[in-house]
Structure 1
Amino acid sequence: MLSSFPTWPEAWRHPAFRRRLLLVLALLLLLAASLPRFFAWVQARPGIILPDPLLALLPARNVSGLTFAIIYLGIGLGVVTLLPQPYRLLRALTAYLLLHGFRCLTLALFPLEPPIGLIILRDPLVEQLFYAAPAPITKDLFFSGHTATLFLLALAVPAGWRRRVLLVATVAIGLLVMMQRAHYSYDVLAAPLFAGLSFWLAGKLTPKQG
């Protein structure tokens, strides 16, 4: 695991750290700028409806408020924990970029229709900033980005109570988005696998501490 010893001034003195951080931030901005058009394309495509026996076992409920309360509190906890630790933060940002790369790839390869009984999961912040479309995005399915993001943060923070909280939040979000019928169980179960792969690859790409 990466230690938290180097401070920002110490890390910034290393050219490899500076280059990688600026590159990752630039690529994240480029990704954010391209997402509206990409998700509009995803939404316009026809897809297939998957049978999902596990999803059928859960009650259908509108839990948008609780879902986004957990998501944003979890993200806040992760960000506050990682900000003082430049190398951990860089690895987390690199992993987040890779995660979205994998997600765009899987969304492009596996066009799906939302589960039967979908209850629109509304996130005003994301809809305004990224999913600019005349109608809600409902085909943003395989794999669950919310579940993957919280699991990625759980991997990125140091071992301890924060990681345990984020792991519990990951499980809660997975269950909630299925209750909302916003995702298939396959989307949720695959999310930690892609998050783990992204975090592992980011570890190979992140410069070593000087």
Structure 2
Amino acid sequence: MAETIHPFYESHRGAMEAAMRHRLDIAETMLCKILRPSDVGGIKREVMDEFGIVLAQMPYVGGVASRMSDFFMRLIGFMAISRVLRRHGVPPSVIGDVERETYKAQLLTVPEAERLAAGRQFMSSENQAFLREQAERSHQEQFPDDFVYDFIEPGPGDSFEFGINYKACGFCKFAARHGDKDILPNICGLDFDAYATRGIHLERTQTLAGGASHCDFRFSRLPPD
């Protein structure tokens, strides 16, 4: 375990901890159903303590220059939740259910107009150009714990607008280093709601965590309700 938190993450620590406390407050009802209600308060405190450990373990992957820094900051806290619930005997599949429902509920606290605007920005031609540039940069492997990926253009007959093939995953590397491989799929399971709440359909048939050669993300717009 690293002794200190990287300065980039330290500068965002307050916001990350606030998001974690909000997440745990949302999860409390679900936690009371799978654990003794009298234990839940202590478990929430245990998760926040574990989150401090996770923050110190987080690899630096370029800060504001890398889009993947945001992925780490938004999702790495689920490793802390998974570790603590695992120690309390909760099966990984149940942990995954709790985390997906919690994350979806947290995402839905953002106003719909704001979420859909973020989705339109993600699907925009400007962002696709940015993703192409970031994908090319990822192959330089400047940071060994970062993601490596390719931008995928649709071919004839494809229904998606664009795709990303992740050849190396920062979360997989983190999990392998810190003994979290059994709870790693819980992180993968968060992606679908993360995009759906922004009006984006994600199709994915395989993951690195599941033993595939790459994760095949394919994006298209969800039809309006």
After TM superposition, the score normalised by the length of structure 2 is: 0.31
**Between structures 1 and 2, the one with greater strand share:** 2
Q: Using CA pairs below 8 Å that are at least 6 residues apart, which structure has the higher relative contact order?
A: 1
